[in-house]
Structure 1
Amino acid sequence: MGLRLKIGATITATAALAALVTGVQVPRLLEDRGRDQVMERLLFAERMYEAGDGRQRLGLRIDPPNLPDELRRMVLRGRRATYVQQNGDRRQIWAATVYDGHVLALTQHEDPLSGELQSGMFRAGAVGTAVATLIGLLLATRLGRRLRLSACRAEQITGGDLDARLPGNGRDEIATLTRAVNTMAEALAGRLRAEREVTANIAHELRTPVAGLVAAAGLLPDGRAESMVKERVARMRDLMEDVIEVARLDNGGEEAESRLVELGSLAARTVRAVETTADVRVDIVEDAFVETDSRRVERILTNLVSNALRHGAEPVVVEVEGGTVRVRDHGAGFPEHLLTHGPRRFHTSAVGKGLGLGLTIAAGQAEVLGAGLRFTATADGGACAVLDLTDSVRRPPADA
């Protein structure tokens, strides 16, 4: 049950209970008042009977034959008592006592308006309950809308939109909570921006020394040491370039330079460019022409294939079907956190095998292209990355 229904049900139950209690208690209060009035009349009539000539005044009756049996038993035990007797549609209130061996009693009819009053109170209670329910639902809907909007903005912040903020209008507890969340989001955004700026600045500062290392490594004499140095320097250069590219994607402003390309040929060319002797196969189920930035698509596919070779198992299959490209491997599959939250930089399940930048760059480049990039699991347990360029599919040129 949603919050709106819970609040509405609570208000409805409270209003109905209040109407029920009022409808039951007010007639009882009127009855008690009638009993008190009859008893006061009885006491006054009894004093007049004692002080007078024994005549019956104020409706006093001596040993009435129609005295209710229950009232008679109570009176004969030596105490004054009252009793309410139902006579058809009307109620009669008795008051009786014992004096000198005789039962003194008098009666009065209960206010005939009490029944009508009770019915009117129940009707008013029903109307009040309906109105309270409507007001409660409207109030709950308004509160629920604010909470849903706040939850939506919070999900945006969780998804990486550091500029999203929760609406903080009002002075109630929800507004206090949203202001606290906004303050936390601003602090988190500032910290993340500072960390990204530091990382990007370090990468830029390292570009010149690394370029010098690459040039110096090329001057080393051939041998095992030379190969190891070149491999490590190349790895450092690639890592530095990845960090710089991530920083550019984070800063925004990247624009795709679109042109019409044949997706199957682009995928085959990209796979050939990956320097590997591993088993990587390109299957073109249905080729298509897409209007996109071929350089960015090549970057995405290169990272997906490289990630499959590094963390998965051969064979790696690149399948082109229309505007969709699937990169599948036969390894253990993507980790659960990646399937749930998507790629995150400097976070990988393969200890010592990467920093999570490859898939982060692929996701960022896909966002620049306006394409979809999904990470799923295959039926046989492997990993499958799906690049969706369906919206970019165009008719082939006339001379194609």
Structure 2
Amino acid sequence: MNVGAKVALAVAAAALTVSATIGGLVHRITAADQLATARTELDQQLMNAAYDYAAARKSQARLNPPDLPRPVARAVRGGIRVTYLRHGTHPLLWAAAPVAPGEVLALSRSYAPEARSLARLDRTLGAVGGAATVLVSLAGLFLGVRMGRRATAVARTAESIANGDLDARVRPDGRDEIARLAASMNTMADALGARLEAERRVTADIAHELRTPVAGMTTAVGLLAPGEATDLVRGSVRKLRVLVEDVLEVARMDAGVATPATEEQWVGAMARRAGAGLEGVTVRVRDDATVTTDPRRVERILTNLAANALQHGAPPVEVEVDGPVVRVRDHGPGFPADLLAVLHTSGPQRFRTTTPGTGTGLGLTIATGQARLLHARLTLRNHPDGGAEAVLTLPTAT
């Protein structure tokens, strides 16, 4: 249940409670006032009848009536003048007093007019209370829906920012806590965007500046005499060159300057080219399909996934093509539970690997960024039969 519904229900419950309480109080006060007035009037009539009885004049009072209620009879025998209301289908109000030893003078009248008046009052209070409850509930519903929409707008903006849309903002409306929350979120987004932009520029500048010395190192390694030391240096330079290119690729995707060059390609052909230079990777095409995409980026995704599986999993690494869906699976221990939780919430974290010291941690980051650029869906999970599995679903024309 959202905030708007909760506010509307709370206002409706409060309005109903207030209406019922006020209605009950008015009913009780009116009923008590009516009864007190009727008792006073009938008691006064009884006193007048007692004077008439003493003067041997006729009156409406009856002497020792046979239908006198027992509670009245018991009270009068004790020498008390009483009034008594007998409830029922036909309510009667009695007034009685002793006039001689063993003699009781009593008056009675119908209490139905007061009962009907009280019933009309109850109906009026019910109608007014119901109408007031409905009106207040509608006002509460309007207020709750408005608050719910504003809170939902703030939540959606937060989700957009979390998904990478740092330009998403929410327009503060009003001066309450929700407006303050919206303004604070906009401030946070501005600060986060500025910080990330600074980091992107630093990363891109460092990687760009490193390209020249790395290129020089690559040329210099080619001039070294063959040997074990030369092979070690050549391998390190190759890794450094790949790292620099990966960092530049991430910087281009972060800056939004990467543009895919699409063309129609067979998915099976792209998968075979991606796994061609990787030992321990087998490619199987169950059902081939053509898609319109950027083949270089798709192959880069599949190469990174397969290399990541070889490095952090265990062979054999299987690449299976099933139409526009490509599955890359290894036979290792699979993704750790904590890493899967991070992958499903915020995506791959840069420079974080499943096994520290075994890589730069940019493979999954680049694969995820390239998939997002191609409007493809990349799902990372553990296979039911063991091992880690990455599923790339390429978009198809509809």
- 2:46/2:107 contact within 8 Å kept: no
Write the deviation string for residues 347-398 of structure 1: whole angstroms up to 9, x where unpaired: 33321223321111112112222222222322212222222224159xxxxx
- Conserved? CA contact 1:38–1:107, under 8 Å: no
Match of 1:242 in 2: 246
The aligned residue for residue 167 of structure 2 is: 163
Distance 1:43 1:390, change over 3 A: closer
Q: Which residue of 2 aligns with 1:21?
A: 21
Which AA in structure 2 matches 1:294?
P
* Corresponding residue of 1:233: 237
Q: Deviations over 1:161-213 (max 9, x none)?
A: 21122342223322222222222222222222222222222222322233333
Where does residue 398 of structure 1 map in the other structure?
Answer: none
CA distance in 1, matches of 2:354, 2:106: 95
Which residue of structure 1 aligns with residue 7 of structure 2? 7
Q: Is the 8 A contact 1:42 1:105 kept in 2?
A: no
Please tell me whether residue 204 in structure 1 is matched to residue 208 in structure 2.
yes
Is the Cα–Cα contact under 8 Å of residues 203 and 244 in structure 1 kept in the other structure? yes
Q: CA deviation at 1:310?
A: 0.9
Q: Is the 8 A contact 2:43 2:83 kept in 1?
A: no
Deviates more, 1:286-295 or 1:384-393: 384-393
Is contact 1:324–1:390 with CA below 8 Å preserved after alignment?
Answer: no
8 A Cα contact 1:372 1:387, kept in partner? yes
Shift, 1:139, TM fit: 3.6
Question: Which residue is 1:311 aligned to?
Answer: 312
CA distance in 2 between partners of 1:186 and 1:105 (Å): 89
Q: Which moved more, 1:227-236 or 1:75-84?
A: 75-84
* Residue identity opposite 1:118 in structure 2: D
What SS does the corresponding residue of 2:87 show, helix, strand or coil? strand
| Structure 1 residues 47 and 328: alpha-carbon distance in aligned structure 2, compared to 1, 3 A threshold | same
Equivalent residue of 1:391, what SS?
Answer: coil
**Structure-1-length-normalised TM-score:** 0.82
Q: Which amino acid aligns with 2:230?
A: E
Task: Point out where structure 1 has 5 or more consecutive residues left out of the alignment.
Answer: 394-400
CA 1:390–1:193 in 2, change beyond 3 Å: closer, same or farther? closer
Q: Distance in 2 between matches of 1:23 and 1:320?
A: 73
Pairing of 1:12-161 with structure 2 (within 5 A) = 12-38=12-38, 41=41, 65=65, 68-71=69-72, 73=74, 83-86=84-87, 88-89=89-90, 91-93=91-93, 109=111, 111=114, 112-161=116-165
Distance 1:324 1:85, change over 3 A: same
> 5 Å matches for 1:245-264?
245-264=249-268
Matched with 1:320 is 321
| Farther-moved stretch of structure 1 (201-210 vs 314-323) | 201-210
Partner amino acid, structure 1, of 2:357: G
Matching of residue 379 in structure 1 with residue 379 in structure 2: no
Identical pairs, percent: 43
The Cα shift of 1:332 comes to: 1.9
More moved, 5-14 vs 73-82: 73-82
Alpha-carbon RMSD across the aligned residues, in angstroms, is 3.5
Give the letter for the 2:162 counterpart.
T
Q: Are 1:284 and 2:279 an aligned pair?
A: no
Amino acid at match of 1:155: E
- Partner amino acid for 2:37? Q
Change (3 A) 1:60 1:15: farther
Q: Distance in 1 between matches of 2:23 and 2:253?
A: 69
- TM-score normalised to structure 2 length: 0.82
Unaligned runs of 5+ in 2: none
Cα–Cα, structure 1 residues 196 and 61, in superposed 2: closer, same or farther, change >3 Å?
Answer: farther
